[in-house]
Each structure stands twice: as C-alpha cells, then as structure tokens.
Amino acid sequence: MTTQELKEILKKRKITYAELSKMSGVPINTIQNFMSNRTSSPRIDTMQAIENALGFVSPTAVTQYTEKENDLVRLYRALPNEQLKARVFAYVIGLLEGAGVDTKRLI
C-alpha cells in the first residue's frame, strides 16, 4: 500500500492518524513519518498491522485469518468478472447493514 492509497482510504473512512494508531497498535510517530514520506519503506510488520486494522487481506498474512475468512476471499477472487464481484459486494453490504453494521466506517 502506498502513502497516497493510505491517505485516500483514511480520508474516505474519516479515520485520523491517532485513530489508526489505536486500531493498528502502530505508534502515531511511525504513521506520521510514513504519511509525510520521512520513511520511504516501512517495516513489513508495520504495514501488515495497518492493513489488518483497515480490514485488508494481505497475501503474506493470510494465515492470521480463520479458514472461513480465507475461503471467502478465495471464493470472491474466483468470480469470473467484475460485474459479479460488484453484485456479491453489494449483497454483502446489504446483509451487513441489515445486521446494523456501519459499513461506511469500514470501507
């Protein structure tokens, strides 16, 4: 994940650096250094902690998820086209919102 991609995600989700620090366990100074490009290549475990806190499935960290979570990712990736992926995504969002989950905060 690049600095720009992370900035866009944080802006879209309205997450501050302080909130990301609490969510990920990464010190706020480390996040600030990365976001201001003072650190050009952060440690892998730092980026994995940030990505995990934001709900991203990293291929190198897939063992941190349950087998069912891994199955869901594999099934989604196996869909043959973007149109089907969009339909599945919309369906899942509907299920989550119907269960009271604030999906706008998650994505």
Q: So where are the chain's domains? A: 3-63, 66-106
Question: Between these two residues, 19 and 70, which has the higher pLDDT value?
Answer: 19
- The predicted model scores a pTM of 0.55
Residues whose CB falls within 8 Å of the CB of residue 17, separated by 6 or more in sequence, listed in order: 10, 28, 31, 32, 35
Helix ranges, 1-107 (H): 3-13, 17-24, 28-35, 44-53, 67-78, 82-98, 103-106
Domain 3-63 has CATH 1.10.260: yes
The full length of the chain comes to 107
Q: In this predicted structure, what is the pLDDT of residue 105?
A: 78
How confident is the model over 6-42, as pLDDT tens digits? 999 999 999 999 999 999 999 999 999 989 988 767 8
